Structure 1
Amino acid sequence: MSILVIEDDPKTGDYLRKGLKEGGYGVDLARTGTDGLRMALERPYDLVILDVMLPGIDGWRIMRALRERRDVRVIFLTARDQLDDRIHGLELGADDYLVKPFSFTELLLRIRTLLRRGVATEPDLFEFGDLRLDVLHRKVTRDGVEIALTNKEFLLLRLLVKGRGSVLSRTQIASEVWHMNFDSDTNVVDVAIKRLRAKIDQPFERKLIHSVRGIGYTFGEEP
Structure 2
Amino acid sequence: MRIHLLVADDDPHIRELLRFILEKEGYVPHEAEDGEQAMRILENEQVHLAVIDVMMPGKTGLELCEEIRRHHDIPVILLTAKGEIDDKEKGFLSGTDDYMVKPFEPKELLFRIRALLRRYQLVSSETIKLGRTMIDRRSYEIHIDGDTLVLPLKEFELLSHLASNPGRIFTRDQLLQAIWGADYEGDSRTIDVHIKRLRERFHDRPEDFVITTVRGLGYKLEVTEP
User: TM > 0.5 between the two?
Assistant: yes
Q: CA deviation at 1:177?
A: 2.5
Amino acid in the other structure paired with 1:210: V
Distance 1:156 1:51, change over 3 A: farther
Q: Which of 165, 177, 182 does residue 167 from structure 2 map onto? A: 177
In structure 1, C-alpha distance between the alignment counterparts of 2:160 and 2:155, rounded to whole Å: 15
1:48 aligned onto 2:38: no
Which residue in the other structure is 2:175 paired with?
196
SS in 1 for 2:54: coil
Q: CA deviation at 1:116?
A: 0.9
In structure 2, C-alpha distance between the alignment counterparts of 1:115 and 1:41, rounded to whole Å: 20
Note the 1:66-77 alignment, pairs <5 A.
66-77=68-79
In structure 2, C-alpha distance between the alignment counterparts of 1:56 and 1:157, rounded to whole Å: 31
- What is the TM-score with the length of structure 1 in the denominator? 0.65
In structure 1, C-alpha distance between the alignment counterparts of 2:159 and 2:95, rounded to whole Å: 10
Which residue in the other structure is 1:210 paired with?
193
Amino acid in the other structure paired with 1:129: P
In structure 2, C-alpha distance between the alignment counterparts of 1:44 and 1:155, rounded to whole Å: 28
In structure 1, C-alpha distance between the alignment counterparts of 2:120 and 2:83, rounded to whole Å: 28
SS in 2 for 1:37: helix
Check whether the contact 1:41–1:70 (CA below 8 A) recurs between aligned residues.
no
Which residue in the other structure is 1:131 paired with?
154
Q: CA deviation at 1:54?
A: 0.8
Q: CA deviation at 1:118?
A: 3.5
In structure 1, C-alpha distance between the alignment counterparts of 2:160 and 2:83, rounded to whole Å: 25
SS in 2 for 1:72: coil
- What is the TM-score with the length of structure 2 in the denominator? 0.64
Q: CA deviation at 1:50?
A: 0.2
Distance 1:65 1:176, change over 3 A: closer
| Number of aligned residue pairs | 174
Check whether the contact 1:34–1:55 (CA below 8 A) recurs between aligned residues.
no
In structure 2, C-alpha distance between the alignment counterparts of 1:124 and 1:209, rounded to whole Å: 23
Amino acid in the other structure paired with 1:158: L
Distance 1:196 1:112, change over 3 A: same
Consecutive unaligned residues in structure 1, runs of 5 or more: 134-139, 141-153, 163-174, 179-187
In structure 1, C-alpha distance between the alignment counterparts of 2:197 and 2:161, rounded to whole Å: 11
In structure 2, C-alpha distance between the alignment counterparts of 1:6 and 1:155, rounded to whole Å: 32
Amino acid in the other structure paired with 1:15: L
In structure 2, C-alpha distance between the alignment counterparts of 1:6 and 1:131, rounded to whole Å: 37
Consecutive unaligned residues in structure 2, runs of 5 or more: 129-135, 141-149, 204-226
Distance 1:46 1:18, change over 3 A: same
Cα root mean square deviation, aligned: 3.5
Check whether the contact 1:197–1:209 (CA below 8 A) recurs between aligned residues.
no
Distance 1:88 1:101, change over 3 A: same
**Displaced runs of 4+ in structure 1, greater than 6 A?**
220-223
Which residue in the other structure is 1:158 paired with?
162
Check whether the contact 1:76–1:97 (CA below 8 A) recurs between aligned residues.
yes
SS in 1 for 2:162: helix
Q: CA deviation at 1:28?
A: 1.1
Distance 1:108 1:196, change over 3 A: same
In structure 2, C-alpha distance between the alignment counterparts of 1:111 and 1:155, rounded to whole Å: 24
- 1:121-167 deviation per Cα after TM superposition (whole angstroms, max 9, x unaligned): 4212436324385xxxxxx5xxxxxxxxxxxxx678434xx9xxxxx
SS in 2 for 1:76: strand
Check whether the contact 1:208–1:219 (CA below 8 A) recurs between aligned residues.
no
1:101 aligned onto 2:103: yes
Note the 1:17-56 alignment, pairs <5 A.
17-56=19-58
